[in-house]
Structure 1
Amino acid sequence: MKVVIVEDELAASENLTYLLKKLNPTIEVLTVLDSVRSSVAYFSAPNEAELVFMDIHLADGLSFEIFDKVPINKPVVFTTAYDQYALKAFKVNSIDYLLKPVDEEELAKALKQFEVQSQTETSPNMQMEGLLDLIKANSKSYKTTYLVSQRDQLIPIKSSNFAYLYIYSGIVKAVTKDNKSYTLDKKLEDIEKELDPSCFFRANRQFIVHKDAIANIKYYFNGKLLLNVLPASKEKIVVSKAKSKELKTWLNS
């Protein structure tokens, strides 16, 4: 199987290549394209690609723009950190979409689906019905309310009201937009999975921040970024150089 990867993050493309080779050593990665521009140039010419893995967010725009400029008559597996793009992804030649970071088991399912589709002839309508079923199966609902203890009572707090959450002395604290602090009896890693990633970002090992709480971003040492939030945090919220691009993409989405 000959594969083309469209991905502008080197670590992500290397990881995907590794997983593909692990699952099927006969897979040949023909090339890795890192932009809309380079992808349009590549697919404008004859090529041997049989399957395309395509990140939705690229350095110079969204990968959907590629389809507006050049026809890609190959099945596409989209990769994205934001599943709200799923419906749009399936309006093109998509056979699947994978949420980042790419899971080996989900990747294996996508490859299996490609093999099945390549051996059967299905009408566009039948294929779209199958894709919509897949979207429903992969859809995820996020936690909207947390019950927190406050003296002798339980108080429901909407997750949308969280400005940021952080770890203090091993305890998870949630600060709301009206500057009230609550203790959550959960690990920050578990809470991260429950919150909508389009609204919340894991800035570092200590902090999760809501998009609306970010007042501004300052350049810090060695390519790092410093988040200033409202209400103000007593601790500095530093985003590593490795995650700074991801943060900017998330804020621009």
Structure 2
Amino acid sequence: MNIIIIEDELRTAKSLEQIILKIKPEAKITGQYQSVESSVAALSGGTQPDLIFMDIQLADGLCFEIFKSVSISAPVVFCTAFDEYSLDAFKNNGVDYVLKPFSKEDIREALKKVDELKNFFQQKVMPDLGDLLSKLGAPQASKSSFLVFKNQKYTTVAVENIAYFFIKNDCTIIVCFDKEQFIINQSLDQIAGMVSAKQFFRVNRQYLVNFKAIREVEPYFLRKLYVKLVIETPEKLLINKEKSHNFLSWMEER
């Protein structure tokens, strides 16, 4: 089985590759792509995988743009931190929808569904989409607090008190509205899957921001957006032009 991975977080892509190959040693990872553009180029250039693992929010936009540019016949397993795209996923070759942070068992179940789907077609029986949807299960509830360690003590920080999460020197840091900071073990990608997608937005690779922390948003050079928070950040929070529309739509949905 030839598999490609479309995922803009390199560490996540590597972890996914390792899990897949442990479960299916006979599989081959024939390509890894981080953007809509590179994925379209590969798939329109002759790449014909048997299966695709695909993140939804890529570096240059939503993965559904790929389907508008190139015909894809392979089944797709969507791996994402966001649960609101499930219907779109199943309209675009989706056979499973795995929420991050995923486990080895999640990927094992996804591969099992792919094998089941293959058997359906070999028997000339169409798969029951309703049955596939029912196997998704309910999305995980949003996390209400994080366990932290500071001054030789464990305590919890309520999510509602967190202004933003950011990455510094490969460490993930919580910054509260009172400006207190805590280092936690989870990656930003994992945290995005734990907190409410309606309350927090991944403005870029370094920052995940609470809606309540946003003071104002200004247009910036090259059609970017400059996000200003109610408390200071170590650097300017800039959203690239590809993500600007999604961000403004997210703000407008309040």
TM value normalised by structure 1: 0.63
Higher mean Cα deviation, 34-43 or 167-176?
167-176
1:123 aligned to 2:126?
yes
Give the greater-gyration-radius structure (CA).
1
What's the counterpart of residue 156 of structure 2?
Answer: 172
Asked if 2 retains the 8 angstrom alpha-carbon contact of 1:8 and 1:59, the reply is yes
1:142-178 Cα distance to aligned partner (Å, 9 max, x none): 47xx8xxxxxxxxxxxx9xxxx99877644355499x
Q: CA RMSD in A?
A: 4.2
Supply the distance in 1 between the matched residues of 2:50 and 2:162 (Cα, whole angstroms).
49
Amino acid at match of 1:172: T
Asked if 2 retains the 8 angstrom alpha-carbon contact of 1:90 and 1:131, the reply is no
What's the counterpart of residue 47 of structure 1?
Answer: 47
Contiguous gaps of at least 5 residues in structure 2: 164-176, 179-183, 203-207, 218-226
Supply the distance in 1 between the matched residues of 2:82 and 2:47 (Cα, whole angstroms).
29
The 3 A distance-change label for structure 1 pair 98 and 39 is: same
What's the counterpart of residue 34 of structure 1?
Answer: 34
Asked if 1 retains the 8 angstrom alpha-carbon contact of 2:7 and 2:13, the reply is yes
Asked if 2 retains the 8 angstrom alpha-carbon contact of 1:201 and 1:210, the reply is yes
1:99 aligned to 2:99?
yes
Amino acid at match of 2:23: L
Contiguous gaps of at least 5 residues in structure 1: 147-158, 182-186, 203-207, 218-226
What's the counterpart of residue 88 of structure 1?
Answer: 88
Task: State percent identity of aligned pairs.
Answer: 34
Asked if 1 retains the 8 angstrom alpha-carbon contact of 2:162 and 2:210, the reply is no
TM value normalised by structure 2: 0.63
Secondary structure at the aligned position of 1:25 is classed as coil
- 1:8 Cα deviation from its structure 2 partner: 1.9
How many residue pairs end up in the alignment? Answer: 202
Supply the distance in 2 between the matched residues of 1:38 and 1:58 (Cα, whole angstroms).
11
- 1:211 Cα deviation from its structure 2 partner: 2.3
- 1:39 Cα deviation from its structure 2 partner: 1.5
